[in-house]
Amino acid sequence: MKKTVIIILILFASFGSSLGQQTFNDENAPYTFEIPESTWRITVKPTEQNPTVEYVYGDRMDGLLEIRKLNTSPNEPISDIIAREQEQRLQFMPGYVAGREENFSGALKGKVFNFEFVRSGRTMSGRFYFLRADDTTVYVLRFTGERDKLRLIRNQLDIIARTFKIKS
């Protein structure tokens, strides 16, 4: 009897956790990914002219995802792309402190770059996933939010990045 109850509880828990998960799949975006929780809501949808996608986790300060496509030189190292992103964009953020690069692998391989900055007097963090789609294309999944709040949903950021893949 106990085993039956445990099995039912496990099935119920796995069914309940899958209810919030959904797949992003838009005809104007050449990629798909899983959204692990219904708290994420889309704020910018892709169009034929602009393939940009943005999601917010509750509030923009709690978590913001921006997806961008970068065209690169053939087989340009991702570390060079991260350095260029820092030079052109990140280093000008108030209170910017560079973090470390980590190797990352999911449906696409790449690197993750972590950093901190200040916005409206609050300590924020960024976690950017640089994922190589092909020899000349890298997608950047830019997650930003209040440091402590982004840390709480880090597993969700990893799920989104791990499931990010190019449509066939």
Tens of pLDDT along 91-127?
A: 999 999 999 999 999 999 999 999 999 999 999 999 9
Look at residue 71 and tell me if it is in a domain. Answer: yes
| Helix, strand, coil percentages in the chain from 3-state DSSP, rounded to 5 | 30, 45, 30
CA distance 108 to 161: 8
Report pLDDT digits (tens) over 2-11.
Answer: 665 455 545 4
Mean pLDDT value across the chain = 90
Number of domains in the chain: 1
78: left (phi over 0), alpha (psi -120 to 50) or beta: alpha
Look at residue 1 and tell me if it is in a domain. Answer: no
Q: Which of 61, 135, 139 is nearest to 107 (CA)?
A: 139
- Give the mean pLDDT of 58-77: 95
- The CATH number given to whatever domain includes residue 162 is 3.40.1000.10
Give the model's pLDDT for residue 21: 83
pTM: 0.86
CA distance 72 to 84: 11
Look at residue 97 and tell me if it is in a domain. Answer: yes
Residue type, 89: R
Residues of the chain with pLDDT > 70: what percent?
Answer: 88
- Confidence band (pLDDT; 50, 70, 90) for 16? very low
User: Could you tell me which residues are beta bridge partners of residue 117?
Assistant: 124
What domain range includes position 162?
Answer: 22-166
DSSP class of residue 76? Answer: -
Give the model's pLDDT for residue 51: 84
Q: Tokens for 153, please give them.
A: 């949903």
- Give the mean pLDDT of 84-93: 91
CA distance 30 to 69: 10
